[in-house]
Amino acid sequence: MSVPGPPSLDGVLAGPPDGLEAGGPTPGLSDASPDEGLIEDLTIEDKAVEQLAEGLLSHYLPDLQRSKQALQELTQNQVVLLDTLEQEISKFKECHSMLDINALFTEAKHYHAKLVNIRKEMLMLHEKTSKLKKRALKLQQKRQKEELEREQQREKEFEREKQLTAKPAKRT
């Protein structure tokens, strides 16, 4: 049995169906009744369409099923890959956050060392200022003592000069 010609864009057969030749009598177009052959034509066309559909399905269905299976496997593999990728991204973020934390700890150590140095400098400066204050106090006390001694020396010299100066005799 031969297959009728390929369907046209309208879905109507382009060539004559099996058993029909050009110039022969056309079934359904007899002189008797216009509706009489129409039912027979429809059943023949339905059978032809059904056979064409079955042939088309039997030809392409295995390939389509294999393609569908391949697409399902690809989709499953993509899901697995996406899950793995998300896990790797989370690990990367975790490592990156650990680096950030490590950097913060390093920076904290650096600033703690600076703070300790500043504290040492402040203690050293406090000690120096205390020593300078004591020294200034001692110098001030020494100057005051020297000033007092000079004043006392002047008074003694003044008293001595006073005693050494001739006194006029008292007249009685």
Q: How confident is the model at residue 163 (pLDDT cuts 50, 70, 90)?
A: confident
pLDDT tens digit string along 151-160? Answer: 999 999 998 8
Mean pLDDT of the chain: 82
Query: pTM score, two decimals?
Result: 0.39
- CA gap 143, 137 in Å, rounded: 10
Q: How confident is the model at residue 112 (pLDDT cuts 50, 70, 90)?
A: very high
